[in-house]
């Protein structure tokens, strides 16, 4: 990440914290606030230079560090690696994605640095359809990692059925609203979530690209 990206990221992160705290006059800049305790999740020093990708492994680790196992749907989950890793950690998972894709043959275990071959018989539940609100009924946590076109829908579904959500919004494609002038898409999504009654907080993972997540625990149990 370049210095410029880092500074922009930090400024945006702080604006998201203010939105999460209920100050909705974005992009105005009221006084700084303390970060949510779960947002304080710096990478281990040795990871600073190395962990520029592996976003599924990083999100898996963050989720299992902070949440008790629950029923999670990875919406737009692609090949299903996140769902597989969570399943291996005792979570009940499904991928909701209209494009059927198989699990990757291998992946890196970020705690050991080893490449792991996915067992031939490894399976995750895959719902090969576009996400719709009613699907949320059977899950506790809705995950949307760069799931363009689904962010507002996930927020609405979570509000209706009391689910938590984790979003890494990337671009405004097929969403029902646009950010107002002067605001980013991420701020706009955060603002929308707060307006739908969610208790949210931003957090950041150490991968390249749009790495700021918005979390709402909903009925999911956080680890103490």
Ligand X SMILES: C[S@@+](CC[C@H](N)C(=O)[O-])C[C@H]1O[C@@H](n2cnc3c(N)ncnc32)[C@H](O)[C@@H]1O
Q: Tell me how far apart the alpha carbons of residues 108 and 116 are, in angstroms, rounded to a whole number.
A: 6
**Residue closer to ligand X, measured from CB, 23 or 64:** 64
Q: Tell me how far apart the alpha carbons of residues 69 and 61 are, in angstroms, rounded to a whole number.
A: 12
Question: Comparing C-alpha atoms, which of 215, 170, 171, 187 is closest to residue 29?
Answer: 187
Question: Comparing C-alpha atoms, which of 161, 156, 109, 103 is closest to residue 136?
Answer: 161
Q: Is 96 in the site for ligand X (CB under 6 A)?
A: yes
**Residue closer to ligand X, measured from CB, 36 or 148:** 148
Q: Tell me how far apart the alpha carbons of residues 30 and 53 are, in angstroms, rounded to a whole number.
A: 33
Q: Is 75 in the site for ligand X (CB under 6 A)?
A: yes
- The single residue among 17, 39, 58, 77 that binds ligand X, judged by CB under 6 A, is 77
Q: Which two tokens stand for residue 97?
A: 């994605």
**Residue closer to ligand X, measured from CB, 66 or 146:** 146
**Residue closer to ligand X, measured from CB, 77 or 218:** 77
Interacting residues with ligand X between 140 and 199 (CB under 6 A)? 145-150
Q: Is 104 in the site for ligand X (CB under 6 A)?
A: no
- The single residue among 40, 99, 122, 222 that binds ligand X, judged by CB under 6 A, is 99
Least distance in angstroms from the C-beta of 28 to ligand X: 32
Which residue number is nearest to ligand X in terms of Cβ? 76
Question: Comparing C-alpha atoms, which of 2, 26, 40 is closest to residue 203?
Answer: 40
């Amino acid at each position: 990440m370049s210095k410029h990206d880092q500074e922009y990221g930090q400024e945006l992160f702080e604006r998201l914290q203010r939105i999460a705290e209920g100050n909705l006059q974005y992009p105005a800049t009221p006084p700084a606030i303390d970060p949510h305790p779960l947002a304080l999740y710096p990478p281990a020093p040795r990871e600073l230079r190395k962990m520029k990708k592996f976003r599924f492994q990083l999100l898996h680790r963050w989720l299992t560090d902070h949440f008790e196992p629950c029923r999670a749907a990875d919406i737009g989950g692609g090949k299903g690696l996140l769902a597989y890793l969570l399943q291996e950690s005792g979570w009940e998972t499904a991928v909701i994605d209209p494009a059927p894709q198989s699990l990757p043959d291998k992946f890196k275990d970020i705690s050991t640095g080893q490449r792991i071959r996915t067992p031939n018989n490894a399976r995750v539940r895959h719902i090969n359809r576009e996400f719709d609100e009613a699907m949320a009924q059977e899950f506790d946590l809705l995950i949307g990692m760069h799931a363009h076109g689904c962010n507002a829908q996930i927020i609405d579904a979570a509000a209706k059925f009391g689910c938590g959500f984790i979003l890494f919004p990337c671009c405004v494609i097929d969403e029902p609203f646009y950010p107002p002038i002067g605001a980013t898409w991420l701020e706009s999504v955060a603002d929308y979530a707060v307006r739908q009654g969610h208790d949210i907080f931003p957090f950041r993972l150490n991968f390249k690209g749009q790495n700021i997540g918005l979390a709402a625990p909903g009925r999911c149990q956080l680890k103490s």
